[in-house]
Amino acid sequence: MRVTQSMLTSNMLRNLSNSYDRMGKLQEQISTQKKFSKPSDNPVAVMMGMNYRKGLNQVQQFSQNIGEVKNWVDSTDGALDQATSVLQRIRELTVQASNGTLDADQRKSINEEVKQLKEQLVNIGDTQIGDKYIFNGQQTNVRPSDTGNYGSGTIELEVFSGIKLQVNTDGSALFGDLKDPNGSINKLIAGLENNDPSIGNMLSGIDDKINQVLTVRAQVGARQNRVELMEDRLSQQETFATQVLSKNEDIDIEKAIMDLTTQESVQKAALSVGARIIQPSLMDFLR
């Protein structure tokens, strides 16, 4: 087959165009730090990337949920810690009041402090996270002390595929008797007002109240440990999902720069050879 000058020129131009195209892709990859910019560049990688990104988004949503769970549980533990301190102070005052040597004014002072401590317990029972009351069951928009009836029902958040954790704590056993005349604290207040000589017998009711709070707090502590374990697991999953997605989509920047440098050298060589292939003009001969 006879090779003509036009064939050589056509091949040279086509090869130069292909070389420019490869350089353009490398420059775009370095600029975006992505292996592809449109689905047609690598349809398989695009489909895989969609699945990887879906998994990563799911893990990130679970991470947000576990953060919300942790917020509720930590706030509950803090509130119960305060409640324990208040109840222990009430117990101390009950022991003092059971001393038969106290006069009426001293008992009155103790009674006033007990009343204030009771109000503090009411405030603790109204603890909020944002605009949600954490001890009122599923009725998180209702202040428990307004009704005196603490709502029931559990609130759960999904923290992993198929795994849910309870975020709230039933407040009825802890604060539900604060408006009940037969509640241990209200009986104590009534006894102090009436100079009841059997104040010491009310210690058992206060102790039961303290034990109730400590039992619930132990349950909350166990829930905190579970939350921390799930938090660590989600952190590992997020790291793994991010790495897989990056491996599928992101370029190796150092390799891409080396490839671009190599392609630039190839381009320069192609231009140099092409200049020799193009047929000299008549003026070149006349020189």
pLDDT tens digits, residue range 236-286?
988 888 888 778 777 767 776 787 677 777 777 767 766 666 655 544 544
Structural domain tally of the chain?
2
Q: Residue 122 in contact with residue 107, Cβ under 8 Å?
A: no
| Confidence at residue 20, expressed as pLDDT on a 0 to 100 scale | 66
Show the domain range for 157: 52-246
Residue 215: partners with Cβ closer than 8 Å, 6 or more residues away: none
Per the domain annotation, does 5 fall within a domain? no
Top-confidence residue, 43 or 165: 165
Say if residue 215 is in the same domain as residue 272.
no
Asked if residue 175 belongs to a domain, the reply is yes
Query: Who's near 86: CB < 8 A, 6+ residues apart?
Result: 117, 120, 121, 124
Q: What's the predicted TM-score (pTM) here? A: 0.74
Averaged confidence pLDDT in the chain: 84
> Do the beta carbons of residue 126 and residue 145 sit within 8 Å?
yes
Asked if the structure places residue 1 within a domain, the reply is: no
Q: What is the pLDDT of residue 228?
A: 93
Q: Is residue 7 part of a domain?
A: no
Residue with tokens 């104590």: 188
Kindly state whether residue 208 falls inside one of the protein's structural domains: yes
Three-state SS for 55-105 is HHHHHHHHHHHHHHHHHHHHHHHHHHHHHHHHHHHHHHHHHHHCCCCCCHH
| Whether residues 81 and 218 fall in one domain | yes
Same domain, 234 and 256: no
Asked if residue 53 has pLDDT above 60, the reply is yes
**Do both 81 and 160 map to the same domain?**
yes
pLDDT (mean) for 134-157: 89
User: Same structural domain for residues 112 and 242?
Assistant: yes
Is 227 in the same domain as 287? no
pLDDT of residue 72: 96
Q: Is residue 38 part of a domain?
A: no
Q: DSSP letters along 100-141, please?
A: TT--HHHHHHHHHHHHHHHHHHHHHHT-EETTEETTSTT-TT
| Same domain flag for 274 and 185 | no
What's the average model confidence in pLDDT over 175-189? 91
Let me know whether 148 and 272 are in one domain. no
Kindly state whether residues 153 and 276 are assigned to the same domain: no
Looking at 230, 246, 262, which one is the last position of a domain? 246
Compare 32 and 98 and report the one with higher pLDDT. Answer: 98
- Asked if the structure places residue 100 within a domain, the reply is yes
* Same domain for 238 and 174: yes
Whether the per-residue pLDDT at 52 is higher than 50: the answer is yes
Q: In this structure, are 281 and 212 located in the same domain?
A: no
CATH number at residue 112: 1.20.1330.10
Statement: residue 217 has pLDDT above 80? yes
Judge whether 35 lies within some domain: no
| Whether 150 and 68 share a structural domain | yes
